[in-house]
Structure 1
C-alpha cells in the first residue's frame, strides 16, 4: 500500500478534530441585559479575561454589485448605542461594496468559550472628523499602508510593496498629521443580534435580540 493510500483523507482528519474542548462558560438567557450592546460587552470582557487572542477580530460580510458575497476579518473599533464600528479605506473592495449597498453582517467567534455573536444591519459612515481621529490613532505602519492605497490591487513585483511603504513612511515623517481622505469610520446599526453559546452535546443556547418600536425584544432560538 502506498503512503498516499495510508494517509487519512481530509474528511477523516476533520472528523477526528475535537470540538468544544475544555470547560465552557455558563450562559443564562433569563439573566441577560435589555440591550445587545450590554451583553456583547460582557462577553467581550470575558473573552479578554480568558486570554482569547484578538477577541476584537470579526468577520465583515458585504455584497458586491454583482450580488456575490465577500467576507474578510477586521478589528472592532468601538461599540455603543449607535452600533458596532470598524474602519476601512473607501476605495477598497469592502468600501466600494458599502458605498453601493450600505448594509453588512458581522460575526465574532471566540473558540475557547464556544461563543459566537452574529449581527446584521445598515451601515452608516462616520464624520470626517471621527474618521480622521481613527486614522491618526492607527500604528504608523498601518497608516503607511493606507496611504499607499493599493489594497487588493494586482501585484506584479513584491518589491513594489517595500518601495511604496518606504515612500509612505517618509511622507508621514514629514507630515505626521496627514490623514488619508478616503479613510472612513463605519458603524453597523443592527436590526438583529444573535448570541450563540455552544454545548458539548449540541444543545446550543441561542438568544436573538430583535429591534422593535420600544427597543429590543429577546427571543430564544432552536439550536
Structure 2
C-alpha cells in the first residue's frame, strides 16, 4: 500500500517542477517576437526610379519574386465587405494584370462573389516576405463577361474544375464521404465532358484607383510609395487613363 502523504508530496514536487519548466520556457508572445521576418538580402524600393504607372512596377516586383523562387508569388488576399459592412478576406491566385486591372476568378454565388455583387469595392494584398515587399491594390471590381469567364474555367486543371463543380462553395457539408462522392462524380464529368463550364464561374478585374508599394531593406529602413488616380483603369478600346499621381508615405 502506498502512503497517501508520500503520494501528495510526489504530486506537489512534480507540479513545482512543471511550473519551473514553464517559467523557463518562452511565452508564445516571446516566441513570436523572436521569429525572423525578412532576410538580409532585400532589394528595397528605389522611389526615384519608380515608373509613372503602378502596373509596370508591380509586374517588375512580381517577376523579381518569381525569379527569387518565392512560393506562390501570385497568391493574394482578397478583402471584401458586403452591403452591411461585414468584412471578409481570403487567399486566391492572380490570373493576370494589365490595363484592364488585376484579374482573378471565382464563383459568383460564393461568399466573395455575393459580397462583390453587393459592394464592388475591394482590395488585393500581395506579400513577398522573402523579398521584404508588399503591395496593396484597391478599387472597384467588375465582371469580365461570359467569354472570359468560360476561358478561365477551361484553363484550370481537371482537379480544380472538379472541385468547383462538386458542390456549392462554403455551404454546410454533412461529411467528407459526401464530398468525396460528389468530387469523384464531378471529376468523371470533367473527363467525359471536357468542355463543361460552371455557369456561375466568373472572371473579375479589380480596376485599381490606389496601388501602394511597401519595401523594407536593412540599410535604408522602410519605404512606401502610393499611386492614385481618379479614374478606373481603361478596358480594351477605351480612352487612356488620365494618369497616376505618385506620393511618398511615412512607413
Give the TM-score normalised by structure 2.
0.85
Provide the rounded CA distance (Å) in 1 between the counterparts of 2:92 and 2:81. Answer: 16
Q: Which residue of 1 aligns with 2:55?
A: 37
Tell me the alpha carbon deviations over residues 55-79 of structure 1, each in whole angstroms, 9 at most, x when there is no partner.
0000000012332211100000000
* Contact 2:80/2:87, CA 8 A, preserved across alignment: yes
Q: Which residue of 1 aligns with 2:4?
A: none
Worse-superposed segment, 47-56 or 173-182? 173-182
Instruction: Give the counterpart of 2:123 among 105, 117, 129.
Output: 105
How many angstroms apart in 2 are the aligned matches of 1:125 and 1:50? 32
Of 212, 218, 223, the residue aligned with 2:246 is: 218
Post-superposition offset of 1:182? 0.3
The equivalent position to 2:68 in structure 1, one of 50, 68, 90, is 50
Q: Give 1:91 deviation, angstroms.
A: 0.9
Question: Can you give the 5+ residue segments of structure 2 that lack an aligned partner in the other structure?
Answer: 1-16, 232-241
> Which one of the candidate residues 62, 70, 80 is aligned to 2:80?
62
1:126-205 alignment runs, 5 A limit: 126-200=144-218, 203-205=221-223
Report the 3-state secondary structure (helix = DSSP H, G, I; strand = E; otherwise coil) of the residue aligned with 2:207: strand
For structure 1, which segment, 169-178 or 32-41, has the greater mean C-alpha deviation from structure 2 after superposition? 169-178
Does 169-178 or 101-110 show the bigger shift? 169-178
Unpaired runs of at least 5, structure 1:
none
Change (3 A) 1:26 1:201: closer
Q: Is the 8 A contact 2:211 2:228 kept in 1?
A: yes
Q: Which residue of 2 aligns with 1:207?
A: 225
**2:191, 2:101 → 1: CA distance?**
34
Alignment coverage as a number of residue pairs: 223
Change (3 A) 1:63 1:110: same
| Larger radius of gyration between Structure 1 and Structure 2 | 2
| Cα pair 1:20 1:200 within 8 Å, conserved | no
Is the 2:44–2:216 Cα contact (8 Å) retained in structure 1? no
Q: Once the 2 structures are TM-superposed, how far is the Cα of residue 212 of structure 1 from its aligned partner? A: 4.2
Q: Which position in structure 1 is the counterpart of 2:10?
A: none
Distance 1:135 1:150 in 2: 16
Q: Structure 2 CA distance, aligned partners of 1:167 and 1:4?
A: 51
Give the CA deviation at 1:199.
3.0
- What is the CA–CA distance in structure 2 between the aligned matches of 1:78 and 1:26, rounded to whole Å? 24
